[in-house]
Amino acid sequence: MTQQGYAQWLEAEGRRLDEIAARAETTPGDWQRPIPECPGWDLEGLIGHCAGVWTFVGSSIAAGGPVDRDSIIQPDCTLSQWHADALARLTAELAVRDPSDPYWSFNPRDQTIGFWQRRMANEAVMHRWDAESAFDGTPNPIEPAAAVDGIDEVFDFFLPVRQPSVFAGNGETIHLHATDADGEWVITRTSEGLEVAHAHRKSDVAARGPAQDLMLFVWGRIGPETLETFGNYELLEDWQREVRI
């Protein structure tokens, strides 16, 4: 995915989060709407989380290095205004930088601005879906290309860097196959954690479906019952139980 693609996702999905936050500010009870797929989280907590993330990353890029996380607090304004202002600053900071520019990140494998362009775009995509699910349970779809990239990010960063030993096993394999986009992954459970290849290969279990549904499954928002599956279904249940993004 290009810098322009990530910028477009961040802008479009972030704008929708702005709209949801502005609505919640004026509608009694909306802030307390639960996020169905994230137990214990409500809309106010979700928008506050996003505003804090936008603030931390935007401020850190402007400062040339990570700012103190304890300094990230809501300024003297409404939550919806904080979200809008923080998002605008973040998008402006990212827009003037090249993805190859060296910069600190959480990922030792990718110490560039490009990491943050991708991370912030996928953060906005997933949390827009979360926010919309708080209202009627039928969020607007995630476009297939964004969903494929969201899955790839899990395998590129979240699991190997943040949870390297998660989903360890004895060679069991899972094949994920997107039916509406160019996306296939073979997950192998090794004694030290998982290994992932972009491949079409016979596995212990195969799960097919739209890229969005595969992303929501990988990110722990929905269960495997929404997918077309063949083989050892228990491996998909293991994923749902053991992997947390």
Task: Render pLDDT for 112-151 as a digit per residue (tens, 0 to 9).
Answer: 999 999 999 999 999 999 999 999 778 999 999 999 999 9
Task: Provide, for the chain, the percentages of residues in helix, strand and coil under a 3-state DSSP scheme, each rounded to the nearest 5.
Answer: 55, 15, 35
Domain total of the chain: 2
Residue span of the structural domain in which 70 resides: 3-133
pTM of the model: 0.95
114 & 221 share domain: no
105 & 174 share domain: no
pLDDT tens column, 188-202 = 999 999 999 999 999
What CATH number should be reported for the domain holding residue 182?
A: 3.30.1050.10
Question: Could you give the strand order of the β-sheet that contains 228-231, starting from the edge strand earlier in sequence?
Answer: 193-197, 184-190, 173-178, 205-209, 228-231
Q: How far apart are CA 117 and CA 119, in angstroms?
A: 6
